[in-house]
Every structure is written in C-alpha cells, then in structure tokens.
Amino acid sequence: MAVRSPLLNKLSLIFGPRPPLNWILLCLVSVFVLIALLGSSSSSTFDSVTSSAKPDIYTNYRKLKEQARNDYLELKSISLGANRIKDVGLCGKDRENYVPCYNVSANLLTGLKDGEEFDRHCDLSRKHQDCLVRLPKDYKIPLTWPAGRDVIWSGNVKLTKDQFLSSGSMTKRLMLLEENQIAFHSEDGMIVDGVKDYSHLIAEMIGLGSDTEFLQAGVSTVLDIGCGFGSFGAHLLSLKLMALCVAAYEPSGSQVQLVLERGLPAVIGNFISKQLPFPSLSYDMVHCAQCGIIWDSKDGLFLIEIDRLLKPGGYFVLTSPTTRQQDSSTGAKKGSMSSPLEEFTKKLCWSLLAQQEETFIWQKTVDSQCYTSRQGDIPVCKGNDMQLYYQPLARCISGTTSHPWVPLHSKSDPLNSTELEIHGLHPDDFFEDSEFWKLALRNYWSLLSPLIFSDHPKRPGDDDPLPPYNMVRNVMDMNAHYGGLSAALMEASKAVWVMNVVPLGARNTLPLILDRGFAGVLHNWCEPFPTYPRTYDLLHANGLLSHIVSQKCSMFQLLLEMDRILRPEGWIILSDTLGPIEKARTLAAQIRWEARVIDLQNGSEQRLLVCQKPFARK
C-alpha cells in the first residue's frame, strides 16, 4: 500500500474529502509551492547537456521542496477524482530466480523438440503475473568492486552445495565454497589456475608474443560461449578487452548468473535453433572451452553461425578433449583435424592456424570473394541481415554485402571518419554526441554521489558506503544510441562495464557499438530481457519510454522487468519528455521505488526520473 504523506493526512482530517475544499486546498498548496520554489536560496538545477553554457552540477536535494511537490501532486490527483492504484505485490518464493521466456515444460507441451524446447520462446509465455520478484532469504548486497569479482555471497545465486560437490575437477580448482561465500581464484599468481597460461598460449598460437598484444593485433571484442564461471573473461577484461559471456539458460547453477554476480559481462543465449541477437561481423574472436556444443552436428550449421558473427580475419578458438578424441578415432595425422570439422571449416574459407593438445584456432578469411568462388558449397545469403532478432539459423554465408567488410587488422581505434561514415554517421555528429554524454555523465555522477552517501538506507552492522564508482559495477544502457554513455564512462575511468541495448524498431546502431569495442545486444523491450534477477546495479534509458509508447507496448510491464533485473538498492535514471516521465513516476510509486523527478530547467520538455529500488518490500 502506498503511504500517504503526513501533510496530506493532517489536511484531510481538518478539511475532509469534500471537492470544493479540495479545490481550495489545491490552490493554497500551489501558492506555497511557488513561494518555496521562487524563494529558494540556491538553485537545484540539473542543466541540459545540450546547453552551451557551463553546467550547474546538481549537488543536493531539497527534501522539503520535494515533499511539497509530492503533496501537491497527490492533492491534485484527489481533486481530479483519480483513483488510488494499489501497490504491486510480491511473487511467490518459487520465482526468486525467475527468468521469463524459458519454460521447458510448457515448450514440450506445444510440440517443440530437438533442443528447441531449451530456446527462448516469449511468444509462448504471454500471460504476465504482475508481481515483484522477491529476494532470497539470505540475499546480501554484493561486495564492492574489485573484491566482488573474487568473492560472492552464495545466497545470491541458485547453487547448492550438492551441485558444487558433483561438479568436475576444473570447477573445484576455480572456485571454493565456504560457509556463505563462494571464492574464485584471483589473478595474484598465488594459486595457478591456468587462466594466464591459457591466454598466453592462445596469443602464441595466433603469432603474438604475449596476450598483452591482443589489442595491437585488432582483437578487442570476444564472445565467450559457455564461459564457466568467467575466469577467462575476467582475465581478458584486465587486458582491456571486452569479453561477453553467452551461455544457455540453466534453472540452477547458471554460468550467466554467477558471472554477472562477479561483476562481469554476460547474457543468456544459445543457438540450438535460432541466431544470437547480434548483427553479422560482430566479434574479433569467438571462444569455446568445453562449451558442450557438438560443432559438426546439423551439417555444420553451428559453425556457419560462428562465421556470421566473426569479423573478417577473426579467430575461432576451440578447446575440447572431444575434438582430440575425434582426431584419434578417425586416424587423422597429428596436427590435423578430424574429417567432418576439417570439411566444414574449409567450406567456410577458414584456415587452421595452429593446434596444441586440446586447443585449435581457425582464422576467418579476409577475402569475401572466397565464398562465391566455391560454387556448390555454402551459398551467400540474400538481403539485409543486420536487423536479425532470434531468426532461425540460416544455412548461408552472411555479411559479405550488407555490412562493411573491414579486415580485423585494418580497423582503427578510435574509429576514423571513413569508418564512421560507413556506419551512416557524420564525424561532426559523432563528436557532438560524445560531448553530450561526457557532460551527462558528470551530471549523473554528481547527482548520485550525494544520494549514495547521505540517503543510503544503511542496514544494521554495515559500514558506511564506499564511493559510487565501487558500488556501481554492472550498468545497462537500455537505449544505447551510439554507445556514448559507455564511451564516457570508459574515458572517465569509472570501474564499470555497460550492456548497450539497441531496441528493436529503433535505428540499428549495434554494428557501430560493437565496432567501438563495447558489449551490446539487440532487444525488443516489449519482451523480458534474457538475464537473471538482480543482475544490474544501474539502469539508464534516454528516450526509451517514448519509444515503448510508439511501439504500443506496456510501460508498466517494462518497469516490472526493470525491477526484476535491478539489484536491491540499485539505481534507475530515465530521461524523457514530461508526459512519459509523469506516467513512469506514478508507476514507480506502485512498484514502491523511491522516485524523484528533476526538471532540467532549460525551457525544454525533458525531465529526469531518478529512482532507487529498496532493499526489501514487505
């Protein structure tokens, strides 16, 4: 139930609910609010980032002024006869780790089989239960970065001790389960878990002196399929590479949930029957270490999907004892692959660079004509494939004509004017967008800093909160545009990573975002996002509310989904025009977020809605 303000309760007792008195009261409160706003000694402005004047950084909340505004809006709703909407209730305990669109039992009942029952099917789960995913009993706020990378609370993830004890030796070497914590081996070199040596081996196999030379060789983005607990990705991030973990949905003991809890990039995804939600030519390297995929099944269809995702000259790294066993069973010579895999990779114009023990590395061709020259093998896809979103796996080669074919070693960092124009963006517009987000970030950070220090709902026994750059690690930009917020955070040396989401129906800027070396994905915000509950610390969206309205989707369902994926005490920053912001503020009250509207005071219709999710809701 929403709590009425003390001011409103007192006034109701005095004046009663009669409409004429409410109108008089509304006028009186309006006058008081205007006096309070005009008489304030210091401005609480949050200047528009498009203004050419020097920005006024928002440094302090005027709590009395905010309370007056709240009372004014509440009185206004009563005077207009608006009905009070009940707060949203909590889901049952069975939904503590609920991920929509993945229901194997329901999928089997509809006739899905051959692995398709494990895929994402939002169209089969249209019935929404309007409730808030509750916290597990032993949930704790994650440790601040970088401590949280190596130690997580076991109560925050669905992993039982029996599941840990039944796991393989690799798992036991990479993580320890002690009381209420799970500890992962760090990079301090005290315990040799093989990650550094493994990364160095890959670098040597592609002709580099060390894994510190990956960036120089053009490798900046890595798709890590079936990433285990993220140790390899964590090491690559320390080398300033963006390694995104993608793994199938698992009801318990999930790789994706563990990786995100460690503060590392991850998203649920598999390609049993559908393509991943990335455009063609997205990644410099695709990595699979014992990821459980049988690559020569379905007549090489999975390898064709990897070819679609790889940039020209990109690398596919496969580490699997199964591959070595196949090699021995077919009687292949040492240093060569088994016949099925060798046949498929040749059809894809890949070259086997090196093989050492269980690790094989192929390189994709930089010659787009190679595919057409091999008549009768695998045809080239027709049409534009850049807006693909969970489409069926295609038995054709993608990306040779619909996307700029830029070899891995030829790209520049940052992108030069020619590369920007290939993406349909003028360099001046790109520069203006970059300056916009640098200023926006400074304003956002100055806005959140005093809140985290002064308004943090400190729990008994907790130390004072640490600076916000440690409390915020996993960030999602829900309408990423060109990835400007991600770039601004990187330039400001904030210890965060950003999942850049490009909404379906908006301009598809994801190829540009991925070319900039950031993590990103296409997503339809009329559907749930493929992640586990409580996996992001900060959600940001500029213009998304208006976009949702234009797509005729439910803003209420969007905010419920945001609540699901946001951790307790996490933050939301929504920027939009006055109408959608006011509607979102009303819905935020239903969801029991602490919500504050900020007027940019530049004469525009733009507003900010800053919300915080409470730790617990009874």
- The predicted structure's pLDDT at residue 311: 94
Residue predicted with more confidence, 113 or 559: 559
Residue predicted with more confidence, 254 or 455: 254
The answer to whether the Cα torsion of 225, 227, 231, 233 is positive or negative is: positive
- The predicted structure's pLDDT at residue 481: 96
Task: Give the pLDDT band (50/70/90) at residue 218.
Answer: very high
Nearest Cα to Cα of residue 261 among 162, 93, 147: 147
Task: Give the pLDDT band (50/70/90) at residue 164.
Answer: low
Longest dimension (CA), the chain: 93
Q: Taking 70 as the threshold, does the pLDDT of residue 258 lie above it?
A: yes
Q: Once rounded to an integer, what is the mean pLDDT over residues 36-65?
A: 40
Q: Once rounded to an integer, what is the mean pLDDT over residues 366-373?
A: 84
pLDDT digits (tens, 9 = 90+) for 56-96: 434 344 444 454 455 445 544 444 444 456 789 999 998 99
Q: Taking 50 as the threshold, does the pLDDT of residue 255 lie above it?
A: yes
Lowest mean pLDDT among 45-54, 89-98, 157-166, 507-516: 45-54
| Whole-number Å distance between alpha carbons of 317 and 1 | 54
Q: Once rounded to an integer, what is the mean pLDDT over residues 105-134?
A: 81
Lowest mean pLDDT among 18-32, 259-273, 592-606: 18-32
Specify whether the CB–CB gap between 324 and 334 falls below 8 A. no
Q: Once rounded to an integer, what is the mean pLDDT over residues 89-111?
A: 87
Lowest mean pLDDT among 116-130, 176-190, 258-272, 445-459: 445-459
Specify whether the CB–CB gap between 235 and 195 falls below 8 A. yes
Nearest Cα to Cα of residue 513 among 278, 241, 267: 278
Residue predicted with more confidence, 296 or 163: 296
Integer angstrom CA distances of residue 587 from 5, 133, 225, 527, 581: 17, 16, 37, 18, 10
Lowest mean pLDDT among 45-49, 360-364, 469-473: 45-49
Q: Taking 70 as the threshold, does the pLDDT of residue 209 lie above it?
A: yes
% residues pLDDT > 90 (the chain)? 46
CB atoms within 10 A of CB 291: 20
- The predicted structure's pLDDT at residue 380: 86
pLDDT digits (tens, 9 = 90+) for 388-421: 788 889 898 888 876 678 888 877 778 888 888 8
Q: Once rounded to an integer, what is the mean pLDDT over residues 285-292?
A: 92
Nearest Cα to Cα of residue 504 among 543, 548, 540: 548
% residues pLDDT > 70 (the chain)? 73
Specify whether the CB–CB gap between 207 and 193 falls below 8 A. no
pLDDT digits (tens, 9 = 90+) for 530-546: 999 999 999 999 999 99
| Whole-number Å distance between alpha carbons of 254 and 161 | 14
- The predicted structure's pLDDT at residue 531: 97
Task: Give the pLDDT band (50/70/90) at residue 429.
Answer: very high
The answer to whether the Cα torsion of 112, 114, 117, 121 is positive or negative is: negative
The answer to whether the Cα torsion of 253, 256, 259, 262 is positive or negative is: negative
User: For the chain, what is the mean pLDDT?
Assistant: 79
Q: Taking 80 as the threshold, does the pLDDT of residue 500 lie above it?
A: yes
Lowest mean pLDDT among 101-110, 198-207, 323-332, 364-373: 323-332
| Whole-number Å distance between alpha carbons of 591 and 561 | 11
CB atoms within 10 A of CB 107: 20
- The predicted structure's pLDDT at residue 26: 56
Q: Taking 60 as the threshold, does the pLDDT of residue 232 lie above it?
A: yes
Tokens matching residue 337: 């692959």
Please, what are the domains in the chain?
89-131 (no CATH), 417-453+469-613 (3.40.50.150)
Q: Taking 60 as the threshold, does the pLDDT of residue 14 lie above it?
A: no
pLDDT digits (tens, 9 = 90+) for 437-449: 999 998 888 877 7
